[in-house]
Amino acid sequence: MNSTVLAKEFVQKTLDEMPDDVSVEEIIKELAFKRMVERGLQDSLNDRVISQEQLEKQIASW
């Protein structure tokens, strides 16, 4: 299955889970949130993570 079909299925599933009176802004926010979670989980599965300590050091350097 190609990525276009997967993307359309992802969008359709998200829309199906939302109420009929949902705004475009809410749809966009929900799609963005789900995509960020999906990417984060994929990063975790591929060991693209940092420790809490590393994160705290990065934040402190801001």
pTM of the entire structure?
Answer: 0.73
Note down the domain range covering 52. Answer: 3-60
Query: Could you report the per-residue pLDDT of 50-61, keeping only the tens digit for each?
Result: 999 999 999 999
- The total of structural domains in the chain comes to 1
Query: Could you report the per-residue pLDDT of 2-49, keeping only the tens digit for each?
Result: 888 899 999 999 999 999 999 999 999 999 999 999 999 999 999 999
Structure tokens at 7: 């993307």
Residues 39, 25: Cα–Cα separation, whole Å: 21
The residue type found at 21 is D
Q: Cβ–Cβ contacts within 10 Å for residue 10, how many?
A: 14
